[in-house]
């Protein structure tokens, strides 16, 4: 899933989290790493409405979330497939 495909950084000006897309012909994944001890509300302007959680250190696998505003807990790792 994340070892192949194009890498595209997003929200590069964000101070407290790292976000990027990993794209293949079959899927586009959103990866977000909250590097802060504070919760974050990450806002994304992407051509997708939802993101299906594939992995999270917050234990929310399978959840389908709004991609426009993703809420992250402190130090959370999030990987989701854009749908």
For the chain, which residues make up each domain, given as ranges? 48-83
**Predicted structure pTM score:** 0.92
Query: Does position 77 have pLDDT exceeding 80, yes or no?
Result: yes
Give the pLDDT of residue 3.
76
Distance between CA atoms of 45 and 68, rounded to whole angstroms?
6
Percent of the chain with pLDDT over 70: 99
Distance between CA atoms of 48 and 55, rounded to whole angstroms?
19
The structure tokens listed for 34 are 């909250």
User: What are 33-68's pLDDT values in tens digits?
Assistant: 999 999 999 999 999 999 999 999 988 878 999 999
Give the pLDDT of residue 62.
84
């Amino acid at each position: 899933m994340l070892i192949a495909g194009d890498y595209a950084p997003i929200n590069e000006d964000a101070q407290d989290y790292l976000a990027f897309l990993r794209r293949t012909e079959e899927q586009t994944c959103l990866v977000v790493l909250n590097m802060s001890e504070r919760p974050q509300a990450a806002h994304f302007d992407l051509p997708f409405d939802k993101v299906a959680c594939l992995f999270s250190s917050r234990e929310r696998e399978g959840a389908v979330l709004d991609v426009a505003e993703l809420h992250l807990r402190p130090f959370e790792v999030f990987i989701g497939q854009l749908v």
